[in-house]
Every structure is written in C-alpha cells, then in structure tokens.
Structure 1
Amino acid sequence: MNYGLFEALNGFAGRVDGIDDLMEFSAVWLIYALFAVVAVLVAIAVWRRRLRPVIAVGASGVIAFATATLIGRFDTEVRPFQSHTVHQLIAHEPGSSLPSDHATAAFTLALAVGAFLYRRWGLILGVVALVIGVSRIWVGVHYPADIVAAALIAVLSVAVVNVASRGPRPRHRPDAASRTPIRAATDVTP
C-alpha cells in the first residue's frame, strides 16, 4: 500500500515542468521559509516576554529530532529511488527513508507554534508542512509512510511537552467559597 500510494503521487512527476519546479522548490527550500517564519514568531514571543511557550516550542523540536534520529538508526527501509524506478527530481544521498527529517521538522514546528504560541500561525504553518511532506514524495525521496511517521512524531512530541508543561496536578482543595467559615471565639450569637 505504501509503495502503491508513492507510485500514484510520484507518477505525476515529470509531466508538467512548472509543477515539478514548484515541488522541487517545496521539497528543498520551503523548509527554510518555514524556519524563518518560526524564528520571527519566536522573536516576537520573546520580545513580549512569553518565554515558557518559546521553551515549549524548542523542547518539542528537541524531542522530535531525538525520536526521528533514533527511529532512523533502526529503520531498514531505504529511499524509494534505491529500490525502485522512480521519477527522482532532486539529488539525495541514499540511506534510511523513515521518517522524513524535513517533514518531522515542519510538522513539529507547525504544531508547536499552534499549541504554544499562535494558533492561526500554527494552522498556516501546518499547511506549509503538508506541502513539504507531499513534495518530498512527489520528487521521489520519501514514501507516504515516512511523512505520516513524521507527523505522528510531531504530534507525540508536542503532546509530551504540553503535558509536561502543565506540571503535576495539585490535590483537590475546596475553594474559599465552599468552606465553612471559622467563627472567632468572641463571635457568639444567642
């Protein structure tokens, strides 16, 4: 199924030069535009003294990178162009295919920005991350499962940071309004 989906999408490559150019740009360079936008959003948050959300975005990235690196070391799936005849539109080193580093970074930053900094920017960056992921398949360097794995790593990384940033849940204490007031010894009514 993974290869079938890859063939369906990669099969469109090489037909229309303008679309191929757009996909090549998206697969290679769009990640840098995403990084630039995130850098500006982080700078704005720091300027507004919103340091905890900035730390959460960074922690999400570190966890996602570590997870992707660990999975990549144990994955034996090679890139599509290493084992199949594909329309490879960009040069790429052979190696482990799962997960896509570009997609992992893009999805993690998009989700982290949306969860911790600016929800609307997170949605916009999410669309950009999806374009990056699809373009990596289009140009022949990743399977669809590589992109899905990247998105899952991003979701889990952001979720871990979100839960951890909430800290331990305090014990339930009744609020002041529900407590029975304590009367002073001098406050005696007949």
Structure 2
Amino acid sequence: MNYHLFQMINGAAGAHDPVDDLFEWTATWLIFVMAAVTLVPGRTLLRTGVWAVLVRVGASLLLALGLGQAVGHLNHEARPFQTHVVHQLIPHASDVSMPSDHATVAFALAFAVTAFLSRRWGVVLIVLATAVGFARVWVGVHYPGDVLAGAVIGAVAVTTVLGVERLLHHRNASASRAPAGGGRR
C-alpha cells in the first residue's frame, strides 16, 4: 500500500514543469518559511515569554530529531529511487528513507506552535507541514509512510514535552502548597 500510494503521487511528477518546480521548492524550502512563521504570533509570544516558548519549541524539535535518528538507525528501508524507477526531481543521498527528517521537523514545529503558542497558527503550520510531506513524496525521495512516521514522531515529541511541563508544574504547585519546615513549636 505504501508503494502504491507513492506511485499514485510520484507518478504525476514530471508532467508539468511549473507544478514540479512548486513541489521542488516546497520539498526543499518551505520548512524555512515555517520556522519564520513560528514567530508571527507575536502577542502570544510576548505574553507567554519568548524564552519559555523558545525552550518548549526547541525541546520539541530536538526530541523529535533525536527520536527520528533512533528510528532511522532501527530501520533499513531504502529510498524509493534506490529500488524503483521514479520521477526523482531533487538530488538526495542514498540513505535510510524512514522517517522523513523534513516531515519530522515540519510536524514537530507545527504541533509545538499549536500546543505552546497559537492554535490558529498551528493549524496553518499543520497544513504547511502536510504540503512539505506531500512534496517529499512528489519529488521521489520518500514514501508516504516515511512522512506519516515523521508526523507521528513530531506528535510524540511535543506530547512528551507537554507531559514533562505539566509534571514539573504539578510538582512545583505541590511544593509551594507544602508547609515550610521549621514552624513555631
């Protein structure tokens, strides 16, 4: 099924140069636009605290990349262009296909913005992350499952950071309610 979906998407590549150009740009550069868009919800960023948000988003990205690397070391799936005849529109190293690093970062960024900054901007970034993932398949360097794995890894990373944050908040709240030692006798 993964290869069948790949064929359906990548099979359309190479027919219309302007469409291919758009997907080549999306597969390569849209992720940088997404990073810049992260800073757009300025009021929320200032209200929440720039450093607090940057730490949460940064921790989510680092965790996602680490998890992606671990999955990549456990997986030995070749890229589509290594084992099939495809329309490969951008050059790429012949390394492990799963997960897509671009999709992992794009979805981790989108989910982190949704969780820590702005749901509205998060939805915009989720749409852009989906476009990045689709484009990676269109240009022939990933299977759809590689993109899905990147999205799941991004979600797991953000959920983990949220969980750690809540645990720390709960611990701090419990510690502040605890009676201070050394009261009067």
TM-score, normalised relative to structure 1 = 0.83
Cα distance between partner residues in 2 of 1:58 and 1:134: 24
Which residue does the alignment assign to 2:60?
A: 60
Alignment-mate amino acid for residue 20 of structure 2: D
Alignment-mate amino acid for residue 55 of structure 1: V
- Measured after TM superposition, the shift of residue 35 of structure 1 is 1.6
- Which stretch shows the higher mean deviation, 135-144 or 29-38? 29-38
Which residue does the alignment assign to 1:145?
A: 145
Which residue does the alignment assign to 1:34?
A: 34
SS at the partner of 1:29? helix
Which residue does the alignment assign to 1:154?
A: 154
- Measured after TM superposition, the shift of residue 155 of structure 1 is 0.8
Larger Rg: 1
Alignment-mate amino acid for residue 154 of structure 1: G
TM-score, normalised relative to structure 2 = 0.86
Cα distance between partner residues in 2 of 1:42 and 1:77: 41
- Structure 1 runs of 4+ aligned residues shifted over 4 Å read 39-44
- Measured after TM superposition, the shift of residue 18 of structure 1 is 1.3
1:42/1:79 Cα in 2 relative to 1: closer, same or farther (>3 Å)? Answer: farther
- Measured after TM superposition, the shift of residue 50 of structure 1 is 4.5
Aligned length, in residue pairs: 171
Cα distance between partner residues in 1 of 2:89 and 2:50: 42
Percent identity (aligned):
46
RMSD between aligned residues: 2.0
Instruction: List alignment gaps of at least 5 residues for structure 1.
Output: 174-190
Which residue does the alignment assign to 2:88?
A: 88
Which residue does the alignment assign to 2:179?
A: none
Contact map agreement 2:44 2:118 (CA 8 A) in 1:
no
- Measured after TM superposition, the shift of residue 57 of structure 1 is 1.1
Cα distance between partner residues in 2 of 1:50 and 1:137: 35
Instruction: List alignment gaps of at least 5 residues for structure 2.
Output: 175-185
Contact map agreement 1:42 1:54 (CA 8 A) in 2:
no
Cα distance between partner residues in 2 of 1:43 and 1:120: 13
